[in-house]
Structure 1
Amino acid sequence: MGYGVSPEDLPVPGRDTFFWLGEINKASAVINSDEGLLDRAAAIRIASGLQKLLDSANEPNAPRPSLVITFEPLLIQAAGVEATLLHAGRSSQDMLTTVSTMVLRDAVLKLASQLHDTTRRLVDMAETHATTLVPNYTNGVAAQPNSYGHYLLGHVAGLHRDAERLRQCYTRLDRCAMGTTVLNGTSWPLNRERMAQYLGFAKVVDNAYDAAQISAAEMPVELGAIASQVALHAGAYIQDVMAQYSQPKPWILLREGGDNTYVSSAMPQKRNPGLLNNTRAEASRVVTLGVGRAIQGHNLPPGMVDAKGLADNLAVLNGATQVLRDWQRILDALVIDGKRSLKELDLDWTASQELADVLMREHNVPFRVGHHFASEVVRYAKAEDLCPSEFPFAEASRIFADTLKHTNLENGGFRFLGEDEFREALDPAGIVNRRATSGGPQPKEMERMIGGSKKILEDLEVWIQERRAHIEDSLHGLDVAFKLLLEV
């Protein structure tokens, strides 16, 4: 609980709570002097003392307090008690809410940047593996053959939504509470808009009660939910890869060595996927922290600080950023054996639905009849230990005829597939390439979706750069205005 943050946890080095309290005080000196709320001569003296305090805080082991009530005594030592004239119309409520928001704002942009990089890596891999055929799974069981690139683009779509949520959340976060004082403003005619501009905000929080009492407790819950969703996406991907590690000959695994894998202390044959395990554990921690934001803020009256702890809220965002960073490391370390995945496809009957589809599409056989036929083919194949590539065409013809009899359709004029049609229906490459619906793995759709994802990522990168530039430009403008007080 509280507003202190370890230096290594800061999203932007040096921008701790003390730094932002200093920026707020600099802005108060400039604005209140310009607006006639603070005598110009006093503002100059206070500015000099404030700068002295800020400079001294950069010395090794110098105190950098994270609370208004511990910052102010140091300011009084440096500038005299008249420095408390800066506190006109201010409170720890609006000041610390603003400080927390500015730190979290930086953390959101850092998370967005890593989200961009990890998603871009997935898109690049999808392009590389657009024609790599692998089994996909539903309910934990091999379901259908698919392009690995298409599978990756499914994960990309989820991360695009995470980025969309993050951008929408940033819009709600990017509001300045300064000037709302405790909960209903002040009799001092503070220029809230100028304060927001100097601190890099897009707007002010409109309602003074909302600023520190409602929004400040609400935003951590929203950020926790977004971070949890990122972690869930990462965990789902990791578990899919982990499933292969239980196989004697996986078609996908981590390149050995480094931090990717480690050996067993007892079993020489084992190469444990440490990177996968560690990333999944971190993802679980993020979900725990994310859900914890709602639990900690639940069933409290407005004005309580339980869910406002900056270190806790920052840990959620930093954790999600680390999960994405490690996910990217996993992608860089993957070895995908396309030949082995084809063999795995031929060990199971993931192509069986295509038999029913082709019979209906090409020969008007009712789908449920074709489905029953395909099910009987699979039943026979498993009993005889036959792979799809080995299945006798004559036996398939017999099963089709028996199926028609079973469904009283033997005189319905339904014709079975030719042998070439039968073999093609069981070919994973043919299945993927024959997909005709939008959003499928066929080459034309893959090209379209990859291009669309690249455009989304370009837009995200521009958005991040613009937000960061706005903050930097605003702080630079504040520095310029503050130096005018120092140079008098």
Structure 2
Amino acid sequence: MRHYSPGILSAVLCFSVVSAGAWAQQPATAKSAAPAGAAPATAAAEPVRDPFFWLGEMNKATAVINTEQGLLDQALGARLAAGVAKVIDEGNQPGAKRPSTVITFEPLLIKAAGQDITLLHAGRSSQDMHATYRSAILRDNLLALADQLQATSTTLVKQAAKHADTIVPNYTNGVAAQPNSYGHYLLGHAAALDRDAQRIREAYVRIDRSPMGTTVLNGTSWPLDRKRMAQYLGFTALVDNAYDASQISSMDQPVEVGAIVTSIALHAGNFIEDVMTQYAQPRPWILLQEGGGNTYVSSAMPQKRNPGLLNSTRSDASTAVTLAMGPVWQTHNITPGMSDPKDTEQNTAMVDSAITVLKRWDRVLKALVVSPERALEELNSDWTASQELADVLMRQYKLPFRVGHHFASEVVSYAKANNIKPLDFPYDQARRIYAEAVKGADYPAELPMSEAEFRSTLDPVAIVKNRQTSGGPQPAEMQRMLKEAQARLTEQTTWIKARRDHINASLAELDQQFDQLAAGAAAK
């Protein structure tokens, strides 16, 4: 049985409930991480890239490299390769055990080819071998996370394009603040996820480095070809310092990935909470489409349509944050190299929790129903356009902003005291309030705005359309930002594919070289 540390046991149990098993979500044919001891669903299925898989690849690469470089006799190398092939084939059979440690993998090698096969272990250690498969699995996990981040970001950008001209209230400090394009708001969230994509790419560079060949912590007297090993395993670089390789770097990796998981979960939670506030309103301008598991009826109150999908997404985000804290606490106050934060299953579950959040967020985005009419009604029932009064007085009539702000604030106070909405505010009262605001000062005594200009200044649609700020919601800037967001998504798709292609091509080359070596034993 897997023994989790007390600090994250409850989080792991919580995640297993909400996700119904992270491993079960992966396609049977995917070359991705799976729990130790698990076997492929069928003999024909491509094996998952779990610890057993990578231990097999390391042994394959060792046999090929050491034979070619003369560290192993050609005939002996071929015989040992045949033994490695036998262990891998048996592990790929339905129901077969797939050991996840060097000390449980090696007895299978000895059984298949005798004690001579331990010659492959020259210059190696469970330290560098385990560090290597942990990096390889975390590398695969990051690509899976990048895939789902890409899918959710694509949905965000599509929805932003759809709602480029939908004008809604935006909020600061929990209070309606200004009118905005809902598409502009969504692009803001897409920008946040783009930073998460950047973090994945940056972390990937640090994780895509091979520790293999460093033995325990200071290398070996055997002249092992670390670069060739890294190439066969699909790594683009080495962890240069042998001590760093398994003692420090391998502890840093889950902590860094945990920070990415945390960021994604926080972004999702922020978005969900913003939508949830509308459910407290008697007439929300944004809701989930009913049915399909998005909402459910209260067991006691027939009028309620509870936003189940929002609740579960928020809960999943909380679970992801909880799991992401695990590596931090496990790495805290331990000596370098300890195994506490390195558990492959736990770290994969952490990444899978973020994938679950992104999947649910994607579903939320596709289920949102926005009422532009109701949003505009809410805008026109409050004074979210009042800042524009101060801005226009300053821009058009050179009135200091603080003077214009004071005038606008007094207009709002009078309106709220007398229950007057923006579109109904009496122009003569605006003139009176302005005159009082500038009394005794060296500014125009009469409100310089005409009645038509005063009323158009309070139009939320016009405010959004007439913004001049780079990065604002005006149509020209929206089109520019949408185009650039779509271009970044295309670049991310290309990046993911290139990384996968590199790994797969490297492993394919290893297979070819290994099969040729193992075939030499069969020919004798």
TM-score range for the pair, normalised by the shorter chain length: over 0.9
Percent identity at matched positions?
A: 59
1:324-473 correspondence to structure 2 within 5 Å: 324-405=358-439, 408-409=440-441, 412-413=444-445, 415-473=447-505
Which residue of structure 1 aligns with residue 163 of structure 2? 129
> Per-residue displacement from partner, 1:215-247 (whole Å, max 9, x unpaired)?
000111111011100111111111110010101
Counterpart residue type for residue 12 of structure 1: K
> Per-residue displacement from partner, 1:141-191 (whole Å, max 9, x unpaired)?
100000001111111111111111110110010000100000000011000
Distance between the aligned counterparts of 1:433 and 1:190, measured in 2?
A: 65
Residues 363 and 414, structure 1, Cα contact 8 Å, conserved in 2: no
1:31 paired with 2:65, answer yes
Distance between the aligned counterparts of 2:340 and 2:25, measured in 1?
A: 20
- Three-state SS of the structure 1 residue aligned to 2:169 is strand
Distance between the aligned counterparts of 1:284 and 1:264, measured in 2?
A: 24
- Three-state SS of the structure 1 residue aligned to 2:369 is strand
Which residue of structure 1 aligns with residue 311 of structure 2? 277
Structure 2, gaps ≥5 residues long: 5-20, 33-47
- Offset, 1:410: 6.9
Q: Are residues 392 and 105 of structure 1, via their aligned partners in 2, closer, same or farther at CA, if it must alter by over 3 Å? A: same
Distance between the aligned counterparts of 1:135 and 1:326, measured in 2?
A: 25
Distance between the aligned counterparts of 1:142 and 1:237, measured in 2?
A: 16
TM-score, with structure 1 as normaliser: 0.97
1:293 paired with 2:309, answer no
Counterpart residue type for residue 66 of structure 2: N
Runs of 4+ in 1 over 4 A off after TM superposition: 410-414
Residues 22 and 349, structure 2, Cα contact 8 Å, conserved in 1: no
Which residue of structure 2 aligns with residue 199 of structure 1? 233
Residues 160 and 186, structure 2, Cα contact 8 Å, conserved in 1: yes
Counterpart residue type for residue 472 of structure 2: G
- Offset, 1:414: 5.5
Residues 464 and 473, structure 2, Cα contact 8 Å, conserved in 1: yes
- Three-state SS of the structure 1 residue aligned to 2:341 is helix
1:318 paired with 2:342, answer no
Query: After alignment, is 51-60 or 474-483 more displaced?
Result: 51-60
Residues 400 and 416, structure 1, Cα contact 8 Å, conserved in 2: no
Match of 1:307 among 322, 341, 353: 341
Counterpart residue type for residue 207 of structure 2: L
Residues 323 and 350, structure 2, Cα contact 8 Å, conserved in 1: yes
Structure 1, gaps ≥5 residues long: none
Distance between the aligned counterparts of 1:63 and 1:344, measured in 2?
A: 62
- Three-state SS of the structure 1 residue aligned to 2:222 is coil
Counterpart residue type for residue 23 of structure 1: E
> Per-residue displacement from partner, 1:341-364 (whole Å, max 9, x unpaired)?
001111211000001111111112
Q: Are residues 473 and 39 of structure 1, via their aligned partners in 2, closer, same or farther at CA, if it must alter by over 3 Å? A: same
- Offset, 1:415: 3.8
- Offset, 1:416: 2.7
- Three-state SS of the structure 1 residue aligned to 2:248 is helix
Counterpart residue type for residue 130 of structure 1: A
Query: After alignment, is 41-50 or 133-142 more displaced?
Result: 41-50
Which residue of structure 2 aligns with residue 12 of structure 1? 31
- Three-state SS of the structure 2 residue aligned to 1:50 is helix
Residues 431 and 447, structure 2, Cα contact 8 Å, conserved in 1: no
Which residue of structure 1 aligns with residue 506 of structure 2? 474
Distance between the aligned counterparts of 1:185 and 1:169, measured in 2?
A: 25
Residues 217 and 247, structure 2, Cα contact 8 Å, conserved in 1: yes
- Three-state SS of the structure 1 residue aligned to 2:470 is coil
> Per-residue displacement from partner, 1:359-384 (whole Å, max 9, x unpaired)?
11111221111111111111111111
- Offset, 1:326: 1.0
- Offset, 1:8: 2.9
Match of 2:293 among 259, 265, 282: 259
Distance between the aligned counterparts of 2:365 and 2:99, measured in 1?
A: 41
Distance between the aligned counterparts of 2:93 and 2:501, measured in 1?
A: 28
TM-score, with structure 2 as normaliser: 0.90
Q: Aligned-pair RMSD on alpha carbons? A: 1.6
